[in-house]
Amino acid sequence: MHPTTQLLQEARDRVTFPIQDLTKLIYGNQEIYETFMKAQKIIASEPSIRNHPDYHNWGRKEQIIKSYEKLRIMHQHFNLTNAAHWTPILSLFQGTTPSAVSFGMTVPALRFLGTDEQFNLWGPKFLTMEIVAAYAQTEIGHGSDVQNLETTATYDSQSNDFILHTPSVSAVKFWPGELGFLSNYALVYAKLIFNGKNKGVHPFMVQIRDNSTHKPLKGVVVGDIGPKLGYSTKDNGFLAFENYRIPLNSLLARYVRIENGQFSRHGNEKISYASMMVSRQLIIFIYPRMAAQSLTVAIRYSITRQQFTNDKGVENSVLEYQTQQDKLLPRLATCYGMIFAGLRIAELVDDNFHRVQKKDFSTLQQSHAILSALKAWSSQWVVDTAEWCRLSCGGHGFAHYSGIPAIYFDTAPNVTLEGENQVMYLQVARYLLKVLQYVEKNPEKVPFYFNFVLHIKETLANQSTDFGQLLKLTLTLQLISVAKKIKDSMGTGKNFQQIWNEVVGVQLLSVAQRYAEYFTYLVFQEYISNANPQVKEILQQLCDLYSLQVILDNPNTLIESGRINVEQFKQLNETKIELLNKLKPQALGLVEAFNFSDNALRTCIGCHDGKPYEYIYEWATKENSVNIKGVPQAVNDLMGTKIKARL
């Protein structure tokens, strides 16, 4: 057998748990799994859309055209308005997916903020792609601070319509995905001016391009903002309006209305959170799976890559080195935790939507807090993981042919978009402090995934070094500490906003991240208790390694509070090494449970048959279009005289 293929095969033979049982858990349901497998197959076998080794040599325009072609073919095979079809496909595009904003942000906003009539008017046209609509909220001057957006929609009582206007350069809509050239509509967030009064920022469904020519309509200035860090296939755009008239029905009118010349509000405005939930939930669901792709490549490659000879004269696979295991295995464990968290969150969000539709807002805030915490934590972690995987593949990790650099830069924007991470964490911290206040007067209001606040005394008294207990203790100590600091600071002449912004900001971010980690632990435990007995043990090992790594990454709270001494700390490190040793032989099975095809991984160093070197050479010599045949003219121009002079 080929020597590196043999290394991979021997590693496969060492796996002791039933891989397919984990596959079932990872995908959550059969429909999602089947869609994913079918989409992988179609993409790999259809020459016009298969992920291409030479992709990163192409220009941006070529890349965009290919991704539209891929989407068109996906449309023929799947119902892309069905989340079970749409979601699994998102991780399979080279570059990010076109129309994810239209489906993942605009459609949900329309559903939740529009009336039924409005949804019925526009909704079905998304399915046929008669309408592609950007979600145009951010402006050059403001992103996170939505209330200070400057675009105006002024109600004209004479003509009973709105005048949409961009009053300054800072008010130009900037960044919306699919706005550059794909969208013919945009959901535009603008300040509603009624009878000279600002009624707040509201969404308006606005046609921006002509139905037959696709050219911008008169009064609309629109285009692509230019190249970015990755995301090359996304036409993030700019959009300005010059006193552009839009009909009254453009205002999404489930919660605000203008009728008979009167402005009125209805229901709970917090509903606006609900539409953002779909896209944040997608970020949590999909992108840890792209981290799983980078881990699959890195772990396969680390088994086939040999460096330095051992005392038996045999070269070591680099995964044999403890330091290499330390780079990859805790991340693999965390990846499983995040995937389970993503699945549980999908259920929570779904449940919340059903309630909201019945005007029950009781789970809205907790869902928002959990989503925000996990969006912030997982999105940064996915990018960091791609970087560690890249490093773990040495020089070959640096090349696009590894597949890893593209994962890094196509997931990097998630840290900023859909709510900048730190801004998200601050909202989580606000909710945690609110829940803490429930404890004395309304303990029944404390939601299930926050009920650690109901057990503060027991948690503080508990001396156990059980990992779950240590995670809960860290979270509890940090929450109490920041609440106390805010209280103590109130007497120092600063108001609450100043204390929040200037005194406790760093602590607030920390406690919010601790919550994300603890939530993931809780969900991991739920999955273990419901799992088939044959995979319980491996899942428990993964959960232990995950929890332990989280504790070791942030031990300060436990050390400062005296809850963990030097000896215990040393012991935790020893336990981690034991877990690395246990999980090393299972690592290949753990990544192969994701069932990524070689083409989906877009790699030549992490393929299933374990022949990195042959493919590296093949891709460089046969697939790399930079190797122009003959001597390029520019080389002749530059070197020609020198070459001749040497003759």
Ligand X SMILES: Cc1cc2nc3c(=O)[nH]c(=O)nc-3n(C[C@H](O)[C@H](O)[C@H](O)COP(=O)(O)OP(=O)(O)OC[C@H]3O[C@@H](n4cnc5c(N)ncnc54)[C@H](O)[C@@H]3O)c2cc1C
**Residues in contact with ligand X by the rule CB under 6 A:** 101, 135-138, 142-144, 175-177, 231, 236, 413, 416-417, 420, 422-423, 426
Backbone phi and psi for residue 44, each to the nearest 5 degrees, phi listed first: -70, -30
Other Cβ atoms less than 10 A from the Cβ of 514: the count is 25
For residues 126 and 187, the answer to whether their CB atoms sit within 8 Å is no
Nearest residue to 386 via CA among 368, 366, 409:
409
Cβ-based nearer residue to ligand X, 418 or 592: 418
Kindly state the tokens that stand for 610: 């374990």
Nearest residue to 219 via CA among 239, 193, 203:
239
Residue 252 Cβ, how far from ligand X at the closest point, in Å? 15
Cβ-based nearer residue to ligand X, 101 or 551: 101
Cβ-based nearer residue to ligand X, 112 or 175: 175
> How far is residue 266's CA from residue 253's CA, in Å, rounded to a whole number?
9
Cβ-based nearer residue to ligand X, 68 or 409: 409
Kindly state the tokens that stand for 165: 């206007």
Kindly state the tokens that stand for 590: 């753990």
Residue 280 Cβ, how far from ligand X at the closest point, in Å? 11
Residue 55 Cβ, how far from ligand X at the closest point, in Å? 19
Element (H, E) at 249: none
Residue 422 Cβ, how far from ligand X at the closest point, in Å? 4
Cβ-based nearer residue to ligand X, 176 or 330: 176
For residues 194 and 155, the answer to whether their CB atoms sit within 8 Å is yes
Cβ-based nearer residue to ligand X, 284 or 471: 284
Classify strands 256-259 and 173-174 as parallel, antiparallel or unpaired: unpaired
- Please count the CA atoms within 13 angstroms of the CA of 385 that sit on its side-chain side: 32
> How far is residue 41's CA from residue 50's CA, in Å, rounded to a whole number?
9
Alpha-carbon distances of 107 from 187, 278, 513, 614, rounded to whole Å: 10, 10, 30, 46
Cβ-based nearer residue to ligand X, 18 or 143: 143
Cβ-based nearer residue to ligand X, 67 or 363: 67
> How far is residue 436's CA from residue 442's CA, in Å, rounded to a whole number?
10
Element (H, E) at 84: helix 83-89
Other Cβ atoms less than 10 A from the Cβ of 113: the count is 24
Cβ-based nearer residue to ligand X, 178 or 592: 178
Classify strands 152-156 and 185-194 as parallel, antiparallel or unpaired: parallel
Residue 547 Cβ, how far from ligand X at the closest point, in Å? 28
The residue at minimum Cβ distance from ligand X is 143
Residue 96 Cβ, how far from ligand X at the closest point, in Å? 8
Residues 6+ apart with CB under 8 A from 367: 277, 348, 349, 352
SS (H, E, C) 332-370: HHHHHHHHHHHHHHHHHHHHHHHHHHCCCCCCHHHHHHH
Report the number of secondary-structure helices (H) and strands (E) in the chain: 25, 13
Residue 144 Cβ, how far from ligand X at the closest point, in Å? 3
Residue 193 Cβ, how far from ligand X at the closest point, in Å? 20
Residue 281 Cβ, how far from ligand X at the closest point, in Å? 16
Cβ-based nearer residue to ligand X, 426 or 580: 426
Residue 81 Cβ, how far from ligand X at the closest point, in Å? 18
